[in-house]
Amino acid sequence: MSDAHAAIERIYREEYGRVVASLVRRFGDIDIAEEAAGEALLVAMEKWPQDGVPPNPGGWLTTTAGNRAIDRIRRESHRDAKHQAALMISDDTPHEPTGPVEDDRLRLIFTCCHPALAPEARVALTLRLLGGLTVPEIAQAFLVPETTMAQRITRAKKKIKGAHIPYRVPEADDLTARLPGVLAVIYLVFNEGYLASSGEAAIREDLTAEAIRLGRILHALLPDEPEVTGLLALMLLTEARRTTRVAGGELVTLLEQDRGGWDRALIAEGHELVRSCLARAAHTGRRPGQYQLLAAINAVHTDAPSAADTQWDQIAALYDQLYAVAPSPVVALNRAVAVAELDGPEVALAQVDRLPLSGYHAWHATRADLLRRLGRSGEARAAYDAAIAATDNPAERAYLARRRGSLAPTEPG
């Protein structure tokens, strides 16, 4: 691929969500929007290398795609009333970074993440329509056959059409209830990239980058929603540590990472977002939500010059707040890690052993570390075995195997 074509594809992916969202709003049909956007790319590939990239590439793509959609509708011999009406629409909305075009993307995000759709369909449709990823790329990201992913996306689009799922931002009364589902989809994409659940790659940079891009879009559209700000901050502070998380094919834990390799620009941006969340919470009296609290926990970690300087009392207190708003055994497990630093591994192990997480690899890994610190090598070895068996991530398995191999051969005493 030539440099010119590579640049065009990059621009196209950046603008894809805007173009499709605008066309869906205009024509009320996702399939027409996708096909027209694809045709616009082909025209750009033909014209831009010769004529140069236009000053407003997004506007050019939107206009070209709109014309192609109208041409398609005109070619159809049987058009329903909706398509007939679409022919009468003229849309001269300027392609600007704010205003109606941005609202189109917000509408599309909520359509993709509608609770009537299955969770896996919400993720796939969001990556396809907002992220501009191809069906093969999405299938590869989640390690399913391409045909399976294509069927999943097709069923989701049919569900939207058949169930008459509205293409709109929820009303104010519904927004609070619907927004967590949207945030959960974006965070799921990020987590799959941050620590891949399967496959040969330990970290999927493409997925973490895509989730952050979607998070930035949502934050730009809903700047006054504190949980949106919190999620973006959380992803940025986590992403800042990505390049230090794997070394020699092995996972490197937070406390062992080279902090000099952390991305300080992302950390500064994340800290600023966290401060704005906490200031808003103090001003309004509203209790911070789970993403704000998780971001605050990561802010404490990334603020410490060294692992020894970590303010574990602050982290434990933040986990207490998190458990109050989002009680779960996983939150309690993470809090126990802070307890081990404050009160010792024996106190933490007693808390961990009470949690119903025997099918969760991190529970076994946490137990293994606490048992190792207590000198209970035999039990630690069994816990490491269980953790290794419960994860398919290659870097994590390598780390756990090394820790298991470093255990004393027999129990002390």
Q: Is 326 left (phi over 0), alpha (psi -120 to 50) or beta?
A: beta
**Which pLDDT score is estimated for 200?**
64
Of the candidates 227, 220, 124, the one whose C-alpha atom is nearest the C-alpha of residue 179 is 227
**Which pLDDT score is estimated for 379?**
96
Q: Is 282 exposed, middle or buried (0-12, 13-18, 19+ CB in 10 A)?
A: exposed
Task: Evaluate whether 37 touches 22 at the Cβ level (below 8 Å).
Answer: no
**Which pLDDT score is estimated for 210?**
83
CA distance 173 to 96: 28
Of the candidates 315, 298, 203, the one whose C-alpha atom is nearest the C-alpha of residue 254 is 298
CA distance 103 to 22: 9
User: Mean pLDDT in runs of 10 for the chain (413 residues)?
Assistant: 73 83 87 89 88 87 90 70 54 43 72 87 86 80 84 91 81 78 87 69 77 89 92 97 92 94 97 93 87 97 96 97 94 97 97 94 96 96 95 90 88 49
CA distance 131 to 213: 8
CA distance 256 to 342: 18
Which two structure tokens, joined as six digits, stand for 318?
Answer: 């933040």
CA distance 261 to 242: 9
**Which pLDDT score is estimated for 18?**
84
CA distance 378 to 388: 16
CA distance 289 to 325: 7
**What topology does CATH give the domain 100-188?**
Arc Repressor Mutant, subunit A (1.10.10)
Domain boundaries, the chain: 1-87, 100-188
CA distance 95 to 378: 64
